[in-house]
Amino acid sequence: MTAHPAAQQPRPQPIEMAFAKLKAHLRAKAIRTIDALWQAIGDICNLFSPTESETTSLPQAMDSHENPPL
């Protein structure tokens, strides 16, 4: 009998973790208007530490994937 290693889940990208955090906070606030949504997004963005902001920048996240030429 051969033992197979457990399947490993790919590690989430920093941008994915940032969006998960944003979505969790938005769900908790149960926003009902567009103006309140934008206000909440601004408030939630202030919850991110400078380190999180540096590791979740869009250009860095895009560079971590091989993009096909346009």
Q: What is the pLDDT of residue 34?
A: 95
Task: Name the band, by pLDDT with cuts 50, 70 and 90, for residue 12.
Answer: confident
Q: What angle do CA 10, 20, 31 make, to 5 degrees?
A: 160
> Is residue 37 predicted with pLDDT exceeding 90?
yes
Q: What is the pLDDT of residue 15?
A: 84
Closest Cα partner for 60 from 3, 10, 21, 18? 18
